Structure 1
Amino acid sequence: MDVTTGAVLPEECIATIISFTSPRDACRASLVSPIFRSAAGSDLVWERLLPQDYQQIISESVSPGPSSSASLNILSKKDLYFHLCDTPILIGNGNRSFAIDKLSGKKCYMLGARELSIINIGRRITSFWEWISSAEMPVLAQSRFSEVARLGLGHWLRIRVKLSIRYENERNATNAHLLPDTPEGYDGRLPSMREDMWMEIEIGEFFTDQVDSVVEMCLMDTACDPCKSGLVVHGIELRPK
C-alpha cells in the first residue's frame, strides 16, 4: 500500500486485514486515514472481534431496555462490542451476567450470590445468612443482580461454586483478608475497590486446556472464631488474566 500516491487497497481488504488484529489495534488503525476509519469501524472487523458465540449469549439476555436482546441486535457490531464491555448483561435466570474484556475481547462471567453455595449452619458452629434485595443496598454499591447475600451472624465462612469448564487441572489456595487495612505481619491478598464500588478479592486462577471438567471455587474461613457479621456477597467473577 502506498499512501503517498493514493494507491490503496480496497476498503474491504483493509477491513479484512484489521479483523485479524486486536480491538486495540482496530481503534488505532481508525486514526490513520478516513478510509482506515471506515474500514476499522465496519461490521466485518467487529464481527470477528466479538466472541464466536456472542449471538447465542445475547439471545439469553434478560436485561431490560438498551441491554435487552432486541435492542442489542440492532446495534452495529462495534457499538455492540463496546456496549458489552461497559454494560454487563444478565443472562439465563438473571443470576449470571456476561461482559467482554475491552482490551482482549474475551468473555467475562459473574455468578451472582444466588448461584453460589452459601449455606446456613446450625448447632454448635453457627453461620446465618439472609437474602436482601439489591435495592436496599447503598446507592454507591448497587448490585447488578436482584438479590445479594448478607452474613447476619457467623462463626464459620464457607462459599463454594462448581462450574463446568475446560481447564488445566491445577489446585491452588490463596490467603485473603476481608478488611482493606493490612494487619501487621500478614501475608496474603487484600480487597481492592472496583469501579462499581464493591470491594474485590482475587481468590485464585486457572488455565484453559482441552480437558472438559469441573472447576471448583471456594472461599472459606481458616478459623471459626471470632464471630463475624455484616459481610455482603455480590458474586464471583471469572475474567481473563
Structure 2
Amino acid sequence: MDVTALPEECIATIISFTSPRDACRDALVSRMFGSAAGSDLVWNRFLPSDYQQIISESVSSVSSSSSSLNNLSKKDLYFHLCDNPILIGNGNRSFAIDKLSGKKCYMLGARELSIIWGDTPQYWDWTPSAEMPVSPQSRFSEVAQLLDVCWLDIQGRIETNILSPNTRYGAYFVYTLMEVGEEEEYYYTGLDHPVKVSIRFENENEGNATNAYLIPDTPEEYDGRHPHMRDDMWMEIEIGEFFTDQVHGMVEMCLMEIENGNWKSGLVVHGIELRPK
C-alpha cells in the first residue's frame, strides 16, 4: 500500500503514535509528510497530558508569559518548553520537557530544598540571582551561598505523581563554587572530602549512600561520583535514580557530609533537577 496516498490527517495520526525524533525524521520524506508531522494533532500527543494546567500555574518564563505560550503551535510549544524552563507554583520550581522523549523534567530551586541551618545568616546567605558573585545564571530568583558550616545536610522531596509515569528518572544536585579576586581564583574550603548522596522512597529504609566529590578536578580514580559541567555552566552530581510506576509516593533526595566535622564554605546551591534517563 502506498502510504502517501492516505489523507494527511491519517498520516498525522500514524505519526502521532511514534516519537518526537521519528516525527522529525518523517517530516523529511515528502511535503505531505512534512505537513502531517508538524501538525498540532501530532505534537499535542507528544506534549504531557496536563501541559495546559502546568502552563497555567507558571509565574514567569525565561522568555515568554503563559499567555504567549498558548499562542504557539503545538510543535513550537514543545521545543520551546525543551529549551526554556518555566517557573511554576511559587517560583521555586521549574518545569521543562525532555527533547527526545517528551517526558517531564522538574527542578527544585534552593528555596524548595531543606538546608540545615539554611536560615541562619552566619552559616548561609540567600543571594539574589542578579547579585551572584559567580558566573552561572540561575533560573530562580535567589540561590543559597554557603558561608561556613561543619554539618552539610541538603535534602529535596518530590511527589512521583507529577512526573511522567513508567519512567526511570535521575536526580542531580546542581551547584557551583565561589570565585573571587581579579584572577577569579576558586574560593572554597573544606569541600575536598567526599559527601554522601542517597535517594529513597518515603517510608523505605535508608537509601544506600554513595560517595560524591564536589571539587571538579578530583582524580577520577577516587571511588564515587564526580561532577560534570552542564551547558548552562553549572556543575551537577548524580544523587541517584528511581522508577515511577503505578504506585505514587514521595521521593527523598539527600546530599550530606557530617562525619568529617571540618568547616566548609564557598558552595553555591542552585537546586536539584529531575529528568528522565
What's the TM-score, normalizing by structure 2? 0.79
Cα deviations across residues 192-223 of structure 1 (Å, max 9, x unaligned)? 00111001000111111222221111110152
Which residue number in structure 1 is paired with residue 269 of structure 2?
233
How far is 1:89 from its partner?
Answer: 0.5
Which residue number in structure 1 is paired with residue 172 of structure 2?
none
Cα deviations across residues 86-134 of structure 1 (Å, max 9, x unaligned)? 0000011110000000000000000000000012189xxxx81110011
Q: What is the distance in 1 between the residues matched to 2:78 and 2:48?
A: 9
Q: Is the 8 A contact 1:172 1:204 kept in 2?
A: no
How far is 1:73 from its partner?
Answer: 0.3
Q: What is the distance in 1 between the residues matched to 2:62 and 2:105?
A: 21
Amino acid at match of 1:131: W
Which residue number in structure 1 is paired with residue 214 of structure 2?
178
Q: What is the distance in 2 between the residues matched to 1:212 and 1:41?
A: 34
Q: What is the distance in 1 between the residues matched to 2:118 and 2:54?
A: 36
Which residue number in structure 2 is paired with residue 197 of structure 1?
233
How far is 1:64 from its partner?
Answer: 4.8
Provide the secondary structure at the position in 2 that maps to 1:175: strand
Q: What is the distance in 2 between the residues matched to 1:172 and 1:117?
A: 20
Amino acid at match of 2:140: F
Cα distance change of structure 1 residues 177 and 21 upon mapping to structure 2, 3 Å threshold: same
Which residue number in structure 1 is paired with residue 130 of structure 2?
135
- Identity fraction in percent: 75
Cα distance change of structure 1 residues 65 and 192 upon mapping to structure 2, 3 Å threshold: closer
Which sections of structure 1, spanning at least 5 residues, go unmatched? none
Q: What is the distance in 2 between the residues matched to 1:9 and 1:140?
A: 53
How far is 1:139 from its partner?
Answer: 7.0
Count of aligned pairs between the two proteins = 234
State whether structure 2 residue 54 is matched by structure 1 residue 18: no
Cα distance change of structure 1 residues 65 and 183 upon mapping to structure 2, 3 Å threshold: closer
How far is 1:162 from its partner?
Answer: 2.2
Which moved further from structure 2: 56-65 or 113-122?
113-122
State whether structure 2 residue 45 is matched by structure 1 residue 48: yes
State whether structure 2 residue 146 is matched by structure 1 residue 151: yes
Q: Is the 8 A contact 2:114 2:155 kept in 1?
A: yes
Provide the secondary structure at the position in 1 that maps to 2:100: coil
Amino acid at match of 2:40: D
Q: What is the distance in 1 between the residues matched to 2:63 and 2:144?
A: 27
Q: Which has the higher contact order (CA 8 A, sep 6+)?
A: 2
Cα deviations across residues 36-73 of structure 1 (Å, max 9, x unaligned)? 00000000000000001000001111115742110100
User: Which structure carries more strand by proportion?
Assistant: 2
Which residue number in structure 2 is paired with residue 97 of structure 1?
94
Q: Is the 8 A contact 1:61 1:67 kept in 2?
A: no
What's the TM-score, normalizing by structure 1? 0.90
